[in-house]
Chain A
Amino acid sequence: MSLEPNSILETLNKIWREELDNESIVLNDSTTASDIEDWDSITNIQLVVATEKFYKIRFTAAEISGFKNVGEMVRCIKKKVG
């Protein structure tokens, strides 16, 4: 499992596409929920759970509510796995 930020972003991209059933999703560091249709407060937690399962990590409640964009999540994953 590569932990380069770009590789994490690619993995998240796959998870997002699968969970939101939308093949056109392209994530980058500054992507937020408002940029993607169907990414709302409910699906957000499904995305978090799928990410946790894939990387076998556990985010804290403060981390989850503190993510401002995808980039912050990528950095948090890198810190936890690396």
Chain B
Amino acid sequence: MLFNSLKFLIFFPVVVGVYFLLPHKWRWAWLLGMSSVFYMAFVPVYILILGFTIVIDYFAGIFIERSTKWKRPFLIMSLIANIGVLAVFKYYNFLTENINLLLHTSGVTDSIPLLSILLPIGLSFHTFQAMSYTIEVYRGNQKAERHFGIYALYVMFFPQLVAGPIERPQNIIHQFHEKHFFVPQNVLDGIRQMLWGFFKKVVIADRLSLYVDPVFNDYHSFHFLNILIACGFFAFQIYADFSGYSDIALGSAKILGFDLMINFNRPYASKSITEFWRRWHISLSSWFNDYLFQPLMIGARNWGRFGTAFSLFFTFFLAGLWHGAGWTFIIYGSLHGIALVYEFYTKKFRKNLSKKIPSFFYQNVSLLLTFGFVSIAMIFFRAHTFADAFGMINNIFSMNNSNTYKWVVGAGELTFNHFSWAISGFCLLLLFITEKFTSPDLKSLNKFPRIDISLGIIVFTLILIGGVFNQSSFIYFQF
């Protein structure tokens, strides 16, 4: 079920209403049932995959806690089950296609058959959240959950089931045991954050996509400036889309009385790629930091600086692969890995340089360079093929002007016209100003009720007049 659908507009108030009417002891069952309904709105049968990993990880958690000798084997079993599901449903075809290509180039005519399956929605999110649980139980930071329903709810809680934030058991499991009361302030905070999320999704992201999609789908027909603008727009589109989703997730959980972790904190205010990953998709970057990068660094600490550089690159190589089974995603992650290695090796040099250059100039150039790098790297994220991504970058840097520049992009109802320019410009400015003063969760608006109400009215009006209501899916749903 999409957050930006009519179904959800009916579903969510019903869930909230019944939730607060039910006695505490039955609320977990209601949330679990409704989370199943939410998930099954996509491909119902895939709930069996969730069920499979939930059963394995539930028992693995208990056995890891009880056993001393078999702790590690039970953890490995849990990790294999989760990674195995990911490998089959997400990476099998990619791997097989590449093996087949290798076989064909070496003269073998037979092919390994591909699987004809749809990728289960949110698979990378809930498998990572499940792995977080068994790892934390193994490390002794989390008690194994004995209540099967509560554990299942930890994996399936509908606000964050299909696109995160990828929660940690220490943050959320205890909240499922606690009794939550109907708190008007929570409802106000939650509705405000949900409204802000809807605004970012339907007004900013979906409108910018009217420009981005035609250019990325047929970049050969566009002037290099159109391609350059499309890349910048995509950086804002994906931010508005994904952080908008997180806002709706956090807001809807808040209304029910739950606090989910912050997932975005003004990433485009970053002055380095290192800072960018502390502000962008925080629940994923901290997952990779805690469970992959840190163990790798600890293991490779005798290799000196090379050990750190290797750990950084390898972590981001895998983070790229996490996003999707394709070379474009691997390049996307690797580019970030290379940038982080560069920043690691030049840290002292850059620190000294920043002391010699006027601060205002250094800070703003760093900010622009960071945004430029992120936007260019995102071409690989968005482009259909490797060749398309390189073609677009080549056209930008060679300033290819064989096509005329177009102000209006697209056709028919899906045109990015002068109205779109005006509304997008205004909304991006509103986004910049609002988040500069209220990030990461808009709660500071509680201190300024007049601004709060005015902003609410403006945002609601903008959704009505500037929203693109084609119920397009969220970009990160594909992962």
Contacts and interface: CB of A to CB of B under 8 A. Distances in A.
Interface of A: 21, 40-42, 45-46, 48-49, 61-62, 64-66
A42 B289 CA distance: 10
B295 A45 contact: no
B344 A42 contact: yes
B128 interface: no
A14 B474 CA distance: 50
Contact of A61 (B293, B298, B302, B351): B298
Contact of A45 (B139, B274, B298, B348): B298
Given A45-B294, A48-B301, 6 more contacts: A21-B348, A40-B274, A42-B297, A49-B301, A61-B295, A62-B139
B308 interface: yes
B51 interface: no
A42 B299 contact: no
A21 B352 CA distance: 11
Nearest to A59: B298
Interface string B340-371: 00001000100100000000000000000000
28 contacts: A21-B348, A21-B351, A40-B274, A41-B289, A41-B293, A41-B294, A41-B297, A42-B308, A42-B312, A45-B294, A45-B297, A45-B298, A45-B301, A45-B308, A46-B308, A48-B298, A48-B301, A49-B301, A49-B302, A61-B298, A61-B299, A62-B139, A64-B298, A65-B139, A65-B294, A65-B295, A65-B298, A66-B139
Contacts of A42: 297, 308, 312, 344
Interface of B: 139, 274, 289, 293-295, 297-299, 301-302, 308, 312, 344, 348, 351
Contacts of B348: 21
Contacts of B308: 42, 45-46
Contacts of A21: 348, 351
Nearest to A62: B139
Nearest to B289: A41
Q: Is the interface of B mostly helix, strand, loop or mixed?
A: helix
A64 B312 CA distance: 18
A21 B348 CA distance: 9
Q: Which of B295, B308, B348 has the most CB of A within 10 A?
A: B308
A64 B301 CA distance: 12
A42 B272 CA distance: 15
Contacts of B295: 61, 65
Nearest to B296: A45
Contacts of B274: 40
A78 B139 CA distance: 23
A48 B294 CA distance: 12
Contacts of B299: 61
A61 B291 CA distance: 12
Nearest to B344: A42
A82 to B, nearest CB: 23
Q: Which of A21, A45, A46, A65 has the most CB of B within 10 A?
A: A45
B247 to A, nearest CB: 25
Contacts of A65: 139, 294-295, 298
